[in-house]
């Protein structure tokens, strides 16, 4: 099924035609599959891929019940990192920091929730989506720390960073920090508030 998914993805990329995975089983030969793709181009069978575009919002956005609950809990105990969600990624090999920043900037641009804050208006949180901007990824250089102390140092700094509170009314609710351990080894720590993410 993984190969089938990859093939469907390549068909979409090359021919701009969205095929369901079942089409591969319905068309056991390349000729039959090519006919299905041609049929999609002629408006038969399957839809052409449509570009996802933002839609206008007729009314002010509203916060979900789950988000409102998290906002309320944050007001009860401001600065509590309990709802910080963190994940660390050990990256071996040379990391192109510019490509990482560019990739994360594009992800944040595409997903409004990653650039949304929850300021208060009339006593209630209102989702405020900000315009896209370059997403910062600070580098913490630990290459000078002796190898025998490096694991303890990176663990300590990651704990400190993952427990740093978010201000739901302002600032990004997503942080990524790159801990540089060696020229070809780093740990990326991704932390976000649970109000913009879920497992």
Contact 143, 181 (CB under 8 A): yes
pLDDT of 42:
67
Residue 101's pLDDT band (cuts 50, 70, 90): very high
164 vs 34: which has the higher pLDDT: 164
Could you tell me the two tokens for 186?
């780093």
- In tens, the pLDDT along 31-75 reads 888 888 888 766 644 454 455 666 777 677 788 899 999 999 999
CA-CA distance, 61 to 57, in Å (whole number)?
A: 7
CA-CA distance, 72 to 75, in Å (whole number)?
A: 5
For 20, 163, 171, 196, the CA distances from 175, given in Å and listed in that order, are: 36, 12, 10, 12
Residue 180's pLDDT band (cuts 50, 70, 90): very high
pLDDT of 96:
95
Q: Which residues contact 146 (CB under 8 A, 6 or more apart)?
A: none
pLDDT of 193:
97
48 vs 92: which has the higher pLDDT: 92
Within a 10 A sphere around the Cβ of 196, how many other Cβ atoms?
23
Q: Among all chains, which residue has been given the structure tokens 């540089």?
A: 180
Round the average pLDDT of the chain to a whole number and report it: 89
Residue 134's pLDDT band (cuts 50, 70, 90): very high
Main-chain dihedrals φ then ψ at residue 25, nearest 5 degrees? -85, -25
CA atoms within 13 A on the CB side of 55: 5
Kindly report the three-state secondary structure assignment for every residue of 17-75.
ECCCCHHHHHCCCHHHHHHHHHHHHCCCCCCECCCCCCCCCCCCCCCCHHHHHHHHHHH
Whole-prediction pTM: 0.71
CA-CA distance, 51 to 38, in Å (whole number)?
A: 20
Assess whether pLDDT exceeds 80 at residue 199: no
Strands (E), the chain: 84-92, 116-117, 120-121, 124-125, 128-129, 139-141, 174-182, 185-193
pLDDT of 51:
58
Could you tell me the two tokens for 30?
């390349």
- In tens, the pLDDT along 189-198 reads 999 999 999 8
Assess whether pLDDT exceeds 90 at residue 28: no
Contact 102, 183 (CB under 8 A): no
């Amino acid at each position: 099924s993984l190969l089938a998914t990859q093939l469907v993805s390549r068909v979409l990329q090359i021919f701009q035609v969205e095929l369901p995975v079942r089409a591969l089983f319905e068309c056991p030969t390349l000729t039959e599959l090519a006919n299905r793709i041609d049929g999609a181009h002629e408006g038969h069978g399957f839809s052409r891929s449509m570009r996802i575009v933002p839609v206008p919002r007729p009314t002010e956005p509203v916060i979900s019940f789950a988000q409102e609950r998290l906002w309320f809990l944050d007001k009860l105990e401001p600065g509590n990192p309990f709802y910080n969600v963190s994940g660390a990624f050990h990256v071996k090999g040379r990391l192109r920091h510019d490509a990482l920043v560019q990739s994360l900037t594009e992800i944040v641009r595409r997903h409004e929730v990653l650039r949304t804050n929850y300021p208060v208006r009339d006593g209630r949180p209102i989702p405020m989506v900000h315009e896209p901007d370059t997403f910062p990824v600070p580098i913490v250089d630990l290459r000078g720390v002796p190898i025998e102390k490096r694991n303890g140092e990176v663990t300590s700094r990651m704990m400190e960073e993952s427990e740093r509170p978010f201000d739901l009314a302002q600032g990004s609710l997503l942080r990524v920090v790159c801990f540089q351990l060696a020229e070809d080894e780093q740990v990326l720590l991704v932390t976000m508030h649970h109000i913009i993410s879920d497992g």
